[in-house]
Structure 1
Amino acid sequence: MAEGSFDQFDRKILQALAEDGRISNSQLAQKIGLSPSPCWQRVRRLEKEGVISGYRAILDQEKLGAPEVVMIEVVLDRHDDEILEAFGTTMERIPEVLEVHLTTGEYDYLIKVAVNGTRGYEEFLRRKLYRVPGIRHTRSSFVLRSLKNVQAFLPPG
């Protein structure tokens, strides 16, 4: 199947699983209007093709003790392969770092971090981020409220 060419049932499956990744196959089949066996086969095909890349639980950061989210723009000293790879590897190892994006524009990276208030953020900066070699400059913004948080966009078919 060509990339992006999904029929109405595939699209309904993807939308339903994006809303509830724990829905049972029988509930999913009923919801989209297929019998369970073809529904299961379609889900397996979408997984095999990599359209569905995995399933995960959404955790409540507040209940975990790190309720604040900070977006940090990072500028590196240099942009050679060694520095870029070292930065990426280091970010993968820091548990507070939720996302890392290489970007265009004024900053090289945008990272999303979960912390426990301003003191938690100060500790993160001093003990972790500022110890990463190659960082020239950062700029931070605390997220006050998240208005929308989805993991994927399903373009119209």
Structure 2
Amino acid sequence: MDRIDRHILATLQHDGRISTADLAEKVGLSPSPCARRLKRLEDDGFIQHYQANLEKEKVGINMTFFVEIGLNRHQEDTIESFESALLEMPEVINAHVVSGSFDYLLEVVSPNLQGYEAFTNKLHKLSSVKDIHTHLSVRQLATKRVLPVYL
């Protein structure tokens, strides 16, 4: 990965709908070499997929919660079952396995408190869940949807 590849990745994070011709101009290449680099970056897994970032409130999401989950068992089958269940819950928009006093940190969205209560009811039904601690996001300071490219 060189300076041009990093520039391509940074540009795409700001505007995923940019045409190849405009991208090529921004990074100082002609369209054909730029298209080849872009294809290579996709094939090599640097670009996972393209998506639209939606404004939460405009699609009815008014609340964000950070949820700490502790499991009661740490056997492979328990972990696989819990993680499979999480992947089926659309309210979970980010999930991390973490170290420390709990096992998972989830970012959960909901239109309201009733929606969040319904979500926690689903969690309580999972036999592997021991502890649930919830933090309500009062206000989001910033969204950094652009990743720094260190390579």
Please tell me the TM-score bracket, short chain as reference: over 0.9
Structure 1 pair 148/63, CA: closer, same or farther in 2 (3 Å)?
closer
Residue 30 of structure 1 aligns with which residue?
25
Residue 3 of structure 1 aligns with which residue?
none
Q: Which amino acid aligns with 1:152?
A: L
Alignment of 1:1-157 (within 5 A): 6-126=1-121, 128-146=122-140, 147-150=142-145, 152-155=147-150
For 2:69 and 2:146, how far apart are their aligned partners in 1? 23
For 1:16 and 1:151, how far apart are their aligned partners in 2? 9
Q: Deviations over 1:38-74 (max 9, x none)?
A: 1001000111111111111112222222221111000
Structure 1 pair 81/123, CA: closer, same or farther in 2 (3 Å)?
same
Q: Deviations over 1:78-121 (max 9, x none)?
A: 00001100000000111111111111111100111111222221
Runs of 4 or more, structure 1, over 3 Å off, are: none
For 1:47 and 1:125, how far apart are their aligned partners in 2? 37
- Across the aligned residues of Structure 1 and Structure 2, the Cα RMSD in angstroms comes to 1.4
For 1:152 and 1:130, how far apart are their aligned partners in 2? 34
Q: Which amino acid aligns with 1:135?
A: V
Q: Give the fraction of aligned pairs with identical amino acids, expressed as a percent.
A: 37
Shift of 1:130: 1.3
For 2:149 and 2:86, how far apart are their aligned partners in 1? 28
Structure 1 pair 101/151, CA: closer, same or farther in 2 (3 Å)?
farther
Contact kept in structure 1, 2:10 and 2:146, CA below 8 Å = no
Structure 1 pair 56/90, CA: closer, same or farther in 2 (3 Å)?
same
Give unmatched runs, 5+ long, in structure 2: none
For 1:145 and 1:40, how far apart are their aligned partners in 2? 40
For 2:120 and 2:26, how far apart are their aligned partners in 1? 47
For 1:26 and 1:119, how far apart are their aligned partners in 2? 48
Q: TM-score, normalised by structure 1?
A: 0.89
Q: TM-score, normalised by structure 2?
A: 0.93
For 2:62 and 2:95, how far apart are their aligned partners in 1? 19
